[in-house]
């Protein structure tokens, strides 16, 4: 279980003064929105990597918070649905709202392709103010959750990823919210919620997602966990939630069985369990363990490493000189008398290969491989 790692409070945020009324706030937001559009790239999916663009995006989200605060101050008991309608009607601001308690409401704000999240809380004076804003710079960002910096306007530029190696790209935005997820309360009564977001991009077959889990104790918001994962653009990432946690679907790379950009690679399930307090790191499992085994075998063969613990000597000998480029398709062929059969076809194979896999000493083991007819991996259940 991860302990509380990062806290947000009102004093830490650069909070703008409240607008005089909702009409004035709406005008300010529309002006700020136009300034951002002037700094947005031609495809509409990023802003220019310039100080002016960063300033414009900061001003837009500050204006969005002012507008929401004005609407809440005017009608403190407004329902989330009504608040959404009012923000859209008054200024064209797209929001989704989630009430955490009678005084606190979580807001997903959208403008163009970009998004942010902020938490509004009603103070003792009756006025609503933000106590969490993901787009606001943090006084002491936690190095254990660098993904959260992707929300900052400074990370939304079209050259953010250029100077950094790929492992650091999770710190680049811009992001847009996919879903605000209410979670079971902690044992002490504090609220928990999750924010599922995706990186905005003009093209690509795979989307980078971020999930973060938070605690709201009625005074401060604390980040408990943040993770980055990837999923195909045509596959859902959210798999569901229950009283014990949240489940996501992900798509990961194999070491050797490479696939095209929009093709399914290694289908995974990420399960985020919720202990009585805090949040636990995800339990990650593969939905294709037999294909994982085939990938490990070829990885060993190509590296000239022993594979006797995962495949019979006859299998190793038969595949030792096989060439492999890109995986075309695969599918399960059934399970008979404890033998699981999986068909794999790839560029470089003269024929598709059917692997026979059993459990040996509690672990999967390849006992045989057969070369099949050209369309053996096609048909029902086949995956490109």
Torsion of Cα atoms, 31 then 108 then 137 then 171, to 10°: -110
Q: Return d(Cα 228, Cα 212) in angstroms, integer.
A: 9
Q: Where are the beta strands (DSSP E) in 217-320?
A: 221-232, 238-242, 245-252, 266-273, 283-286
Whether pLDDT at 359 is above 90: yes
* Least confident segment among 24-38, 163-177, 297-311, 360-374: 163-177
Determine the average pLDDT of the residues in 278-283.
Answer: 95
pLDDT in tens, 234-276: 899 999 999 899 999 999 989 998 877 666 788 999 999 999 9
CA distance 256 to 338: 27
pLDDT score of 165: 61
**CA gyration radius for the chain?**
25
Counting other chains too, the contacts that 359-364 makes at CB distance below 8 Å and 24 or more residues apart are 363/310, 364/289, 364/290, 364/293, 364/310, 364/340
Measured CA distances, 356 to 122, 286, 311 (Å): 63, 19, 10
Which two three-digit tokens encode residue 103?
A: 């005084």
Q: Please check the confidence at residue 85 and state whether its pLDDT lies above 90.
A: yes
Q: pLDDT at residue 278 above 60?
A: yes
Q: For residue 170, what pLDDT band results from cuts at 50, 70 and 90?
A: confident
The string of DSSP codes covering 34-52 is HHHHHHB-TTSS-B-SSHH
Residues in contact with 355: Cβ distance below 8 Å, sequence separation at least 6, in sequence order:
290, 293, 294, 315, 341, 342, 343, 344, 366, 368, 369
What share of the chain has pLDDT > 70, as a percent? 90
* DSSP, res 292: H
Beta-ladder partners of 238? 248
Q: How confident is the model at residue 349 (pLDDT cuts 50, 70, 90)?
A: confident
pTM over 0.85: yes
What does the angle CA 67 – CA 178 – CA 41 come to, to the nearest 5 degrees?
70
User: By the 8 A CB rule, do 353 and 342 touch?
Assistant: no
pLDDT in tens, 124-135: 999 999 999 999
Question: Residue 2 above 60 pLDDT?
Answer: no
Q: Record the tokens describing residue 230, joined without a space.
A: 């990837």
* Mean pLDDT value of segment 274-299: 95
Return d(Cα 116, Cα 133) in angstroms, integer: 8
**In 3-state terms, what secondary structure has residue 172?**
coil
Task: Please say if the pLDDT value at position 6 is more than 50.
Answer: no
Instruction: Give the C-alpha separation, 354 to 348, whole Å.
Output: 15
pLDDT tens for 294-330 read: 999 999 999 999 999 999 999 999 998 888 888 888 9
**How many H-runs (helices) and E-runs (strands) does the chain carry?**
5, 17
Residues 6+ apart with CB under 8 A from 357: 290, 293, 339, 340, 341, 342, 364, 365, 366, 367
Preceding omega of 205 cis (within 30 degrees of 0):
no
Place of tokens 């250029």: 162
Question: Which one is predicted more confidently, 144 or 209?
Answer: 209
pLDDT at 139 over 80: no
Average pLDDT over the chain, rounded to whole? 88
Residue 75 has pLDDT above 90, yes or no: yes
Assign 199 a pLDDT band (cuts: 50, 70, 90): very high
Helix/strand/coil for 126 = coil
Kindly state the percentage of the chain with pLDDT values over 90: 68
Position 164 scores a pLDDT of 61
Question: Nearest CA to 103 among 77, 133, 80?
Answer: 77
Q: Do the Cβ atoms of 138 and 8 come closer than 8 Å? A: yes
Encoded tokens for 89: 């009607």
- DSSP label at residue 171: G
Query: In this predicted structure, what is the pLDDT of residue 137?
Result: 79
What pLDDT sits at residue 126? Answer: 94
Helix axes 51-74, 22-39, angle to 10 degrees: 160
Is the model's pLDDT at 360 over the cut of 80?
yes
């Amino acid at each position: 279980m991860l302990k509380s790692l990062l806290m947000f409070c009102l004093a830490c945020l650069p909070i703008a003064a409240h607008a005089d009324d909702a009409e004035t706030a709406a005008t300010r937001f529309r002006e700020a929105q136009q300034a951002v559009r002037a700094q947005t790239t031609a495809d509409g999916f990023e802003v220019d990597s310039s100080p002016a663009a960063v300033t414009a995006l900061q001003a837009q989200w500050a204006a969005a918070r002012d507008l929401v605060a004005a609407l809440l101050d005017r009608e403190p008991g407004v329902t989330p649905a009504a608040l959404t309608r009012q923000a859209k009607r008054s200024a064209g601001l797209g929001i989704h709202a989630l009430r955490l308690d009678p005084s606190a409401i979580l807001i997903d704000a959208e403008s163009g392709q970009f998004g942010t999240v902020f938490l509004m809380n009603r103070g003792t004076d009756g006025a609503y103010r933000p106590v969490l804003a993901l787009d606001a710079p943090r006084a002491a960002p936690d190095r254990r959750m660098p993904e959260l910096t992707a929300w900052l306007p400074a990370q939304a530029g079209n050259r953010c990823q250029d100077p950094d190696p790929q492992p650091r790209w999770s710190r680049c935005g811009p992001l847009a919210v996919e879903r605000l997820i209410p979670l079971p309360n902690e044992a002490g009564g504090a609220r928990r919620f999750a924010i599922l977001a995706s990186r905005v991009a003009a093209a690509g077959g795979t989307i980078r997602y971020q999930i973060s889990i938070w605690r709201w104790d009625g005074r401060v918001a604390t980040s408990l966990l943040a993770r980055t994962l990837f999923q195909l653009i045509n596959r859902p990432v959210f798999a569901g939630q229950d009283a014990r946690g949240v489940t996501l679907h992900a798509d990961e790379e194999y070491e050797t069985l490479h696939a095209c950009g929009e093709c399914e690679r290694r289908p995974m399930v990420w399960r985020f369990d919720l202990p009585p307090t805090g949040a636990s790191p995800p339990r990650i499992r593969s939905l294709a363990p037999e294909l994982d085994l085939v990938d490990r075998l070829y990885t060993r063969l190509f590296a000239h490493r022993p594979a006797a613990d995962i495949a019979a000597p006859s299998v190793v000998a038969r595949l030792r000189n096989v060439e492999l480029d890109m995986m075309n398709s695969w599918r399960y062929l059934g399970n008979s008398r404890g033998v699981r059969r999986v068909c794999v076809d790839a560029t470089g194979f003269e024929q598709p290969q059917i692997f026979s896999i059993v459990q040996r000493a509690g672990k999967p083991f390849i006992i045989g491989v057969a070369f099949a007819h050209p369309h053996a991996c096609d048909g029902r259940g086949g995956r490109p």
